[in-house]
Homo-oligomer: A and B are copies of this chain.
Amino acid sequence: MDRSAEFRKWKAQCLSKADLSRKGSVDEDVVELVQFLNMRDQFFTTSSCAGRILLLDRGINGFEVQKQNCCWLLVTHKLCVKDDVIVALKKANGDATLKFEPFVLHVQCRQLQDAQILHSMAIDSGFRNSGITVGKRGKTMLAVRSTHGLEVPLSHKGKLMVTEEYIDFLLNVANQKMEENKKRIERFYNCLQHALERETMTNLHPKIKEKNNSSYIHKKKRNPEKTRAQCITKESDEELENDDDDDLGINVTIFPEDY
């Protein structure tokens, strides 16, 4: 079976199966994005979460315990209010931790260049921890990930370690992150729509393609200082992997001849 046929088979198998997640459905804030990707021949999504605030209770061994063994005291994909957390915390008898987990999305891609295009857009939209996985039997997956998290221990062996005032303050921070996360999802979706519509136009009108064969090439206006720093052994770089531009030279120049 050729690569395209195999990809179509994987996609059909994957999309025909039931959603086995706890929630059982795609989160509201990413339904359109997920549908948009699944309508394209070159992509299908295998998992997603729009972003959530959750309160976990771990056993007394603390962080050693795997997450699947934790008790979920609260989970919401919406903004969160103090009283809900206070009520949920009453059920904690181990180490309760409040987390904000940003948007995450796994997209299987037909080939590496499809993953590169998506990767470039994810980075440009603020999802700076995104990365490609090339797996077994040629499966190429893009994981869209953000640097934008929050993880705050609140209680120890059932004893609350912070005040209600602190929980209120913390939820303000978490809710702000949730809002920012939503903006990034919208930015990513818009960016995707524009780029993929341009691709369709280019395919329908090959002459445009000749004139503009770099339609996918992401042209960064590079700061000369940054360009210089690009290939510097910046070990221990204090800005590493955070919201600034660590300038990996993300780009979607395609080089099929290299492999």
Binding site for B on A (CB under 8 A): 3, 10, 13-15, 17-27, 34, 45-50, 62-63, 66-68, 72, 75, 101, 104, 106, 111-112, 115-116, 119, 129-139, 141, 143, 145, 149-153, 156, 161-163, 165-166, 169-170, 173, 176-177, 180, 229, 231-244, 246, 248-251, 253, 255-256, 258-259
User: Do residues B21 and A234 form an inter-chain contact, with CB atoms below 8 A?
Assistant: yes
Most buried by B among A34, A119, A151, A246: A151
Is the Cβ of A27 less than 8 Å from the Cβ of B235?
yes
Q: A63-B177, A104-B241, A161-B165 are in contact. Are A135 and B248 (CB under 8 A)?
A: yes
A187 to B97, CA, bound (A): 27
Taking a contact as CB atoms closer than 8 A, the residue among B22, B106, B116 that contacts A236 in the complex is: B22
Q: Is the CB of B134 within 8 A of A21?
A: no
Oligomeric state, in number of copies?
A: 2
A25 touches B235 (CB 8 A): yes
The answer to whether B67 and A236 have CB atoms under 8 Å apart is no
List 8 extra interface pairs beyond A24-B236, A47-B235, CB under 8 A. A3-B258, A48-B236, A112-B112, A129-B131, A130-B131, A138-B255, A138-B258, A161-B163
Q: Chain B nearest CB: distance from A62 CB in Å? A: 7
Interface residue from B3, B101, B240 paired with A104 (Cβ < 8 Å): B240
